[in-house]
Structure 1
Amino acid sequence: MRMSFRIARIAGIDLNLHVTFLLMLPLGALIWGNGSLFGALFGVLMMILLFSSVLLHELGHALTARALGIPVREIQLLPIGGVAVLGRPVQRPGHELLITIMGPIVNLLIVFGLLIVAIFSGLATRMTAESMVNMVGTPSFDGMVLWLIQANLLLAIFNMIPAFPLDGGRVLRSVMAMLMDYRRATRIAGAIGQGIAILLAVVGVMSVNFLLIAVAVFIFLGARQEVVATDVIGVLDDLSIADALNREPVSLQIGQRVSDAAAMIEATRQQALVVLQGERVLGIVLRTDIQAAIATGRGEMWITMIMRREIVRVPFGETLEVARATMAEHSTPVLAAYEGEEFRGLLTIDDIATAYAVRDRGTPPQGPSTTPRTTPSA
């Protein structure tokens, strides 16, 4: 069951909302309701406006990335915030810095716009320390403007804490990466972030603030995850597609059936096969596609009925990190490696994981085990 669903597509970017976000709406109604329907509806509106601010923040990241030529897969909205999912890692520290700071800058621009609204509406003349406290908790236009000013200021300031996975951690890493190796910069930024997380946890325990403790755990784990992910990318950057490529994938001709594919692929550990017309590759079939067809009684169906005709290519000479990023960008678990127009083999996400595990143990990768191409008669 998918835990998120698409609610819109903005500038070609899918906007996906996690189902748990819906819990925020009754929370807003509870905070501002005070027993009145108007207050409850106002609270729901405030939650929607808050997450509109989060969406604009993430669009700041996403559209900047797109302008720099980096594909954006989607924007995810969660109760704890938003995430702009890029199609591939940002390679240049300067680009990462620009992409990262645009999120908080958008929040500051929202604050600036709301301050203009406050001035022209006369709200600014009514603002005192005491009245601001009262207005923020009151379902009114003034309360809405003031609360959104505070919320966007907090979003900008909180996100600039120099700790992964917050924007501040990425800003710190990108600045240090201009002066040192990227992986080393990530480890240092990660250690700083975990140190901040520990301090927040101590303060949270001493003040019995469970929200602060939860934030500390979120930052600590996020920092660790970023370091691990960067180390994985570093390893994959040192490996070529040739280190993991299945050069002799199981193959069938277009006149064969799903049952033929099932018999062939079950005798191997391979996760994908190619469908040929003579020597030309027409499509790819995954092991899971074959198993699903057999399970639903479609064994006598022609193999071309279940094959994937859109073949995502990757140059044979590229690194495994480029291959992994290509898989993520196209949402596919398998690539066809080509050298010019010559088909060299198949590469699956399992092949990449195996090559990484072997290199991580310190053993030079030998490539996946293969089974000679055989083409039984139909």
Structure 2
Amino acid sequence: MRNYRITTVWGIPIRVNISLLVFLPVLAWLIGSGAQIELYAGIVGGLVGTELDLARLQAGTTPWLVGTLAAVGLFVSVTLHELGHAWAAMRYDLEVESITLWILGGLASFKQMPREWNREFWIAVAGPITSILVGVVCYAGLFALPTSATVSLFVVGWLSVTNLVLAGFNMLPAFPMDGGRVLRALLARNRPYASATRIAARIGTFFAVLFAVFGVLSFSPILLLLALFIYAAATGESRTVALSDLLEGLTVGDVARPSALTIDAAASVEDLVDRMFADRSTEFTVTRGGEVVGVVTVADFRALSQAERAADTVGDLMETDLPRLDADMSAFDALVELDTARASAALVEGPDGVHVVSREDFSSAMEMRRLVGTGDPF
């Protein structure tokens, strides 16, 4: 979904997802509803030691004003929470690409997550610590406001309570929430990073199931959405870490295969079919004048009619918009590049010419790593 850049802090773009823009009026209505105002008016009144004027809070359009101020204040608090993560990451010279606010809160995107347990620990806890500090500042602010400022007292008190709840909720060990990342960091002190990630992801999946059950029982779409997010993010990161471990230390030049099976771009499709049967291969590197220019696979001509197969050349069918990668690029980064480009293969440029690397090559490399362990079979 589309994101809108609203400002920049410390060189970090702050973006708002369209889901938040749609959800904010709903959140304002929920906060400003009679039951919520009555509940939190009692809590805030207890904090300041005086009873808030409930009739004034519920009169006319005041509930809408209260709800809007509280909803906006909540996402300002979420932004500060994510900036806490960003500040801690920047202390370790890690690049923060952006902060995005969306329907479930905020996401700070890092160019690369640290694998050192102590760095991940402090980056993870920096967010909840920031929320606690914001909650304490809001609590102190209650005593600076006059008792007649009923709306301001309610909103500031609500933000104080909500920030403390936000900090506590985020510390649940539901990976990849902050508490789950803290758990992985602690597990990684005495076990491999991939193993720590798998354990944390399993616990995160368990929490996702719990949130889904409570979401169904309480008819809460937000809890259901949170459950889906945690499940997808936990399993996705676990898979990513496993891939990264299997490809660690390899460059894309190590993984790329020599261009042994080649076919000229001017060859007919019928010639290609004959070569595929003769060489028992479904994929060929395409050359023109001895230079690698693309890749052709069985899927490229499967839908062609007999007449088209006779008339077309390999050059008409081949994939040419393939990513071009340097042979020294890490294998994992190259695989990410393939996924980003949604390409089936890439051209690898090295000192000995241009080679081709496909998803099957990455699969073969990882399978070899599984069989021989962490040694280098290349």
Please confirm whether the aligned pair reaches a TM-score higher than 0.5, indicating the same fold. Answer: yes
Decide whether aligned partners of structure 1 residues 101 and 346 sit closer, same or farther in structure 2, where only a CA change above 3 A counts: farther
**Equivalence for 1:151:** 162
**Equivalence for 1:239:** 250
* C-alpha separation in 2, matches of 1:116 and 1:28: 25
* C-alpha separation in 1, matches of 2:8 and 2:355: 33
CA deviations over 1:95-131 (Å, ceiling 9, x no partner): 11111110111100101111211233366xx9xxxxx
> Which secondary structure state, in structure 1, belongs to the residue aligned with residue 163 of structure 2?
helix
In structure 2, stretches of 5+ residues that fail to align are 34-57, 260-286, 297-318, 371-378
**Equivalence for 2:210:** 199
Decide whether aligned partners of structure 1 residues 336 and 47 sit closer, same or farther in structure 2, where only a CA change above 3 A counts: farther
**Equivalence for 1:43:** 67
Whether the 8 Å CA contact 1:54–1:81 is kept in 2: the answer is yes
Following TM superposition, by how much is the alpha carbon of 1:266 offset from its aligned partner in structure 2, in angstroms? 10
Q: Over aligned residue pairs, what C-alpha RMSD do you find?
A: 4.1
- Aligned residue identity for 1:82: G
**Equivalence for 1:141:** 152
* C-alpha separation in 2, matches of 1:37 and 1:288: 58
| 1:227 pairs with 2:226 | no
* C-alpha separation in 1, matches of 2:6 and 2:145: 33
Residues 176-325 of structure 1: matches in 2 within 5 Å? 176-207=187-218, 209-244=220-255, 268-269=294-295, 288=321, 316=328, 319-321=330-332
**Structure of higher RCO (CA pairs closer than 8 Å, 6+ residues apart):** 1
* C-alpha separation in 1, matches of 2:14 and 2:359: 29
Following TM superposition, by how much is the alpha carbon of 1:200 offset from its aligned partner in structure 2, in angstroms? 3.6
Whether the 8 Å CA contact 2:172–2:178 is kept in 1: the answer is yes
**Equivalence for 1:307:** none
**Equivalence for 1:6:** 5
Larger Rg: 2
Residues 120-139 of structure 1: matches in 2 within 5 Å? 120-121=144-145
- Aligned residue identity for 1:223: A
**Equivalent in 64, 88, 92 of residue 112 of structure 2:** 88
Decide whether aligned partners of structure 1 residues 218 and 246 sit closer, same or farther in structure 2, where only a CA change above 3 A counts: same
| 1:358 pairs with 2:360 | no
| 1:162 pairs with 2:173 | yes
Report the more deviating stretch, 65-74 or 234-243: 234-243
Whether the 8 Å CA contact 1:201–1:213 is kept in 2: the answer is yes
Whether the 8 Å CA contact 2:255–2:365 is kept in 1: the answer is no
Whether the 8 Å CA contact 1:235–1:356 is kept in 2: the answer is no
Percent identity over the alignment is 29
**Equivalence for 1:26:** 25
Whether the 8 Å CA contact 1:24–1:47 is kept in 2: the answer is no
**Equivalence for 2:135:** 111
Following TM superposition, by how much is the alpha carbon of 1:245 offset from its aligned partner in structure 2, in angstroms? 5.1
Decide whether aligned partners of structure 1 residues 353 and 336 sit closer, same or farther in structure 2, where only a CA change above 3 A counts: closer
> Which secondary structure state, in structure 1, belongs to the residue aligned with residue 119 of structure 2?
helix
| 1:74 pairs with 2:73 | no
CA deviations over 1:238-262 (Å, ceiling 9, x no partner): 53232245899xxxxxxxxxxxxxx
TM-score (norm 1): 0.64
CA deviations over 1:304-329 (Å, ceiling 9, x no partner): xxxxxxx9x9782x63236668x69x
Following TM superposition, by how much is the alpha carbon of 1:94 offset from its aligned partner in structure 2, in angstroms? 1.0
* C-alpha separation in 2, matches of 1:10 and 1:83: 15
* C-alpha separation in 2, matches of 1:11 and 1:79: 24
| 1:57 pairs with 2:63 | no
Decide whether aligned partners of structure 1 residues 356 and 36 sit closer, same or farther in structure 2, where only a CA change above 3 A counts: farther
In structure 1, stretches of 5+ residues that fail to align are 127-134, 249-262, 271-285, 290-310, 365-378
* C-alpha separation in 2, matches of 1:35 and 1:356: 65
* C-alpha separation in 2, matches of 1:37 and 1:345: 69
Decide whether aligned partners of structure 1 residues 35 and 21 sit closer, same or farther in structure 2, where only a CA change above 3 A counts: farther
**Equivalence for 2:43:** none
Following TM superposition, by how much is the alpha carbon of 1:74 offset from its aligned partner in structure 2, in angstroms? 1.1
Number of matched pairs: 294
* C-alpha separation in 2, matches of 1:355 and 1:108: 49
Whether the 8 Å CA contact 1:239–1:320 is kept in 2: the answer is yes
Report the more deviating stretch, 207-216 or 226-235: 207-216
Decide whether aligned partners of structure 1 residues 25 and 35 sit closer, same or farther in structure 2, where only a CA change above 3 A counts: farther
* C-alpha separation in 2, matches of 1:187 and 1:346: 35
Decide whether aligned partners of structure 1 residues 268 and 204 sit closer, same or farther in structure 2, where only a CA change above 3 A counts: closer
* C-alpha separation in 1, matches of 2:91 and 2:136: 24
- Aligned residue identity for 2:18: V
* C-alpha separation in 2, matches of 1:41 and 1:196: 35
* C-alpha separation in 2, matches of 1:218 and 1:8: 26
- Aligned residue identity for 1:141: S
- Aligned residue identity for 2:127: G
Decide whether aligned partners of structure 1 residues 357 and 214 sit closer, same or farther in structure 2, where only a CA change above 3 A counts: same
**Equivalence for 1:304:** none
Decide whether aligned partners of structure 1 residues 41 and 209 sit closer, same or farther in structure 2, where only a CA change above 3 A counts: closer
* C-alpha separation in 1, matches of 2:170 and 2:248: 29
TM-score (norm 2): 0.64
Decide whether aligned partners of structure 1 residues 245 and 35 sit closer, same or farther in structure 2, where only a CA change above 3 A counts: farther
Decide whether aligned partners of structure 1 residues 182 and 43 sit closer, same or farther in structure 2, where only a CA change above 3 A counts: same
